[in-house]
Amino acid sequence: MKKRLLLIRHAQSQANREGKIQGWLDSPLSEAGHMQARQLSQRLACEFDIAKIFVSPLSRATETATYLGRALDIPLAFDANLKERNPGPLSGLTKQEVKRHFPEVERAWANNLPRPHLTGAETDAEFAARTQLAIDLLLAQTKNASTTAVVSHGGTLNQMLKNWLDIRQVGRLTFSFFNTSLTIVDVYPKFIRLVLLNDTSHLGVTYAQGKPSYPQSRDAR
């Protein structure tokens, strides 16, 4: 019997809008991010029977999950292991600032190489181990044949899939996750199934009486 996990990246934050690396930087949602979070919550409330909501305690994830919790009348369960990877001194910098102050990091990114270790930053092994702790807790607290929502961060969701699929690739992120994207993973006793990846079809859609309404094209008559 399967357990279904809805993996959700937070809505756009102020730092996202400004092009800054976040990590553990606690940036709130932007105005556009609040709109995205509302659209996401309306979709999920319409399409899924969600029993639990686990969330990273960073503001951008918490604010996103709050919309969903209110729509479903479900309390949020916080797990610090769902936080984004800690990039140490890169937090709050733009890519241009990284290139200027940490050229060895920019070269690693450009050539898809392992990132050099920075004081205060999590290593690949530390981040993978922390993410596995989050996975173990999620699965332990998700009942068979039920659905759990997980509101987290792009790097964390990427590492979760890598852990499940035993992908050892280093360098750039293996999977992309846009703001408020939905990824669905069905977890069976002996295998997992990736059902949906990085879907944002709810953005730009309005909901009325529990049903999606798509805007007409300019040529519609």
* Segment 151-185, tens digit of pLDDT: 999 999 999 999 999 998 777 789 999 999 999 99
Asked if residue 214 has pLDDT above 70, the reply is no
- In angstroms, rounded to a whole number, what is the distance separating the alpha carbons of residues 202 and 8? 12
* Segment 14-64, tens digit of pLDDT: 999 999 999 999 999 999 999 999 999 999 999 999 999 999 999 999 999
Domain 3-211 has what CATH class?
Answer: alpha beta
Backbone torsion region of residue 45, taken as left when φ is above 0, otherwise alpha when ψ lies between -120 and 50, otherwise beta: alpha
pLDDT bin (cut points 50, 70, 90) of residue 212 is low
Other C-beta atoms lying within 10 Å of the C-beta of residue 216: 8
In this prediction the pTM is 0.90
Query: Which ranges of 77-190 would DSSP assign to H, the alpha helix?
Result: 95-101, 103-110, 124-140, 154-165
pLDDT-above-70 percentage for the chain: 92
Asked if residue 207 has pLDDT above 80, the reply is no
Domain locations in the chain as residue ranges: 3-211
Q: List Cβ neighbours of 122 (8 Å cut-off, separation of 6 or more).
A: 85, 86, 87, 88, 130
pLDDT, mean over the chain:
91
Q: What is the mean pLDDT of residues 132-137?
A: 97
Q: Determine whether 126 is an active site residue.
A: no
Q: Determine whether 84 is an active site residue.
A: yes
Looking at residue 211, its pLDDT comes to 60
Asked if residue 219 has pLDDT above 70, the reply is no
Amino acid at 27: S
Structure tokens at 95: 């890519």
- In angstroms, rounded to a whole number, what is the distance separating the alpha carbons of residues 58 and 23? 10
Summarize the chain as % helix, strand, coil (round to 5): 40, 20, 40
Active-site choice (18, 34, 84, 153): 84
Looking at residue 42, its pLDDT comes to 96
Q: What is the mean pLDDT of residues 62-83?
A: 97
In contact, 149 and 66? CB cutoff 8 Å: no
pLDDT bin (cut points 50, 70, 90) of residue 220 is very low
